Amino acid sequence: MEKHDITGVKALLSTKKKIVIVPHKNPDGDAIGSSLGLCHYLLKGDHKVHVVVPNEFPSFLKWIPGGDAILKYDSQSRFCDALINDADVIFTLDFNAFHRTGDMEPVLANSQAIKIMIDHHQSPDDYAQFTYSDVSMSSTCEMVYNFIDKLGDANKIGKDIATCLYTGIMTDTGSFRFASTTSTTHRVIAELMDKGANNAKIHNSIYDSNSYEKLQLLGRALSNLKVIPESRTAYITLSQDELNQFNYKKGDTEGVVNYGLSLDGVVLAAIFIEDKQEGIVKISLRSKGNFSVNDMSRAHFNGGGHINAAGGRSELSLNETVEKFISILPSYNKALNDE
Ligand code: 5GP
Ligand code: MN
């Protein structure tokens, strides 16, 4: 964000505003952490602030400070529409295009509020009056920290903000192990610990709160794992029947795709998860090195994301989606074997 943008945002927030904060659909740790971290910060400025998420967030995030006050658009759409239509300022966090909010797209696109985007995904749309977009950032939470810091308010970060931002940086970096984790990310994390984020407690709340059924579902996913050595690729499938068998809850498959990438020699991993209610197969892609799953997802699976982590969808059946994936792999063999 340029200096004149910071001056503009500072002027905008210098008087009391009605503010709505919106992250992407199927919000993850970074989406929830950045939204609530920013919310706690803005509430210190005496604004009226609401966080509206497009749909439910995973139960492993339920403990997060402020989580109780989050509004869900899919179950409270009229109330949320009124808030959005009445807002002076809308922050859009952790996404690059309105369609990433699902059913919220029209109300956001029609809103007259001033939009501020904070996001680290590739190819941001140009809808915001203030755009803070940086694809080199580990997470939107790290950007929210920078945003608060650039506004000269790092001293206002207390335990709640620190806890929210720590959570999103931790989840989006795979606990500080992905290539997007920089020395600056670690410095921000150190600051957040000094400001009250309890690292052991946060890790425990997120990663050691599994249900028995979630672990059993992971077992099934791992037994479904297939490897295509010539493409250095591994993939996992989970059908709707399998999800039902293990009483699937939102968030239960988060991170499972990474097991494919943990195989020695594998540089591309995918998971295909059938969603009969939406009539789609949700796809997650992960890669190592320079192989861009963002490009692959954009080209073939109606999605996008980052170089090493992207999502997408398919309206074909689960089997047909996997067949399509297998059929496009040879065209990537050279790139995959160059990694
Ligand atoms: P995941 O596989 O965990 O759902 O998503 C990986 C990354 O890609 C996340 O940063 C997520 O926001 C992004 N992403 C997931 N699905 C989509 C999609 O359909 N379109 C775009 N543009 N990005 C996505
Ligand atoms: Mn993110």
pLDDT digits 0-9 by tens, 12-67: 999 999 999 999 999 999 999 999 999 999 999 989 999 999 999 999 999 999 99
Residue 98 sits in the same domain as residue 188: yes
Ligand 1: residue whose CA is nearest its atom 20 = 303
Which of 179, 207, 235 is a domain's end point?
Answer: 207
Nearest CA to ligand 1 atom 15: 311
87: confidence class by pLDDT, cuts 50, 70, 90: very high
Burial 144-183 (b: 16+ CB within 10 A, else e): bbbbbebbebeeebeebbbbbbbbbbbbbbbeeebebbee
144 confidence band (pLDDT: 50, 70, 90): very high
Q: What is the pLDDT of residue 68?
A: 97
What average pLDDT does the segment 213-240 reach? 98
Q: Answer whether residue 11 shows pLDDT above 90.
A: yes
95 CA: nearest ligand 1 atom: 12
Using CA atoms, how far apart are residues 322 and 300, in angstroms rounded to an integer?
A: 12
pLDDT of residue 303: 96
CA 226 to chain centre: 26
> What percent of the chain stands above pLDDT 70?
100
Q: Is the CB of 310 under 6 A from ligand 1?
A: yes
How far is ligand 2, taken at its centre, from the CA of residue 99, in Å? Answer: 16
Domain end (from 207, 230, 248): 207
Listed in sequence order, the residues at least 6 apart from 187 whose beta carbon sits closer than 8 Å to its beta carbon are: none
Residue 270 is predicted with a pLDDT of: 98
Q: State yes or no: pLDDT of 298 exceeds 90.
A: yes
Mean pLDDT of 117-143: 97
* 119 CA from centroid of ligand 2 (Å): 7
- Are residues 167 and 225 located together in one domain of the fold? no
Residues 185 and 89 reside in one and the same domain: yes
Mean pLDDT, all residues of the chain = 97
Reported as a pLDDT band with limits 50, 70 and 90, residue 1 is confident
Residues 8 and 152 in one domain: yes
Count of domains in the chain?
A: 2
Domain span at residue 40 reads 3-207
Maximal C-alpha separation, the chain? 60
- CA–centroid distance, 140 to ligand 1, in Å, is 13
pLDDT over 90 at 4, yes or no: no
Q: Are 40 and 71 in the same domain?
A: yes
Query: What is the whole-number distance in angstroms between the Cα of residue 127 and the centre of ligand 1?
Result: 19
Is 284 close to ligand 1, i.e. is its CB under 6 Å away?
yes
What's the average model confidence in pLDDT over 149-176?
98
What's the pLDDT at 339? 83
Q: Find out whether the beta carbon of 27 lies less than 6 Å from any atom of ligand 1.
A: no
Q: Are residues 265 and 279 in the same domain?
A: yes
**Which CATH number characterizes residue 318's domain?**
3.10.310.30
Is the ipTM higher than 0.85? The answer is: yes
Q: Please report, as a single letter, which amino acid is at residue 106.
A: P
pLDDT of residue 104: 98
Q: Are residues 98 and 200 in the same domain?
A: yes
Q: Are residues 165 and 251 in the same domain?
A: no
Q: Are residues 251 and 312 in the same domain?
A: yes
Indicate the residue among 207, 224, 242 that finishes a domain: 207
Give residue 202's pLDDT.
98
Given a cut of 90, whether residue 2 has pLDDT beyond it is no
The CB of 329 under 6 Å from ligand 1? The reply is no
My answer on whether 142 and 13 are in the same domain is yes
Cα–Cα nearest to 6, from 151, 157, 154: 151
pLDDT at 78 over 90: yes
**One domain for residues 125 and 218:** no
Q: For ligand 1, atom 7, which residue shows the shortest CA distance?
A: 310
Nearest-ligand number for the alpha carbon of 97? 1
Asked whether residue 3 carries a pLDDT value surpassing 90, the answer given is no
CATH of the domain at 20: 3.90.1640.10
Q: What is the pLDDT of residues 247-267, one digit of tens each?
A: 999 899 999 999 999 999 999
Based on the domain organization, do 100 and 240 belong to the same domain? no
**Residue 282 binned pLDDT confidence (cut-offs 50, 70, 90):** very high
User: Quick one: pLDDT band at residue 198, thresholds 50, 70, 90?
Assistant: very high
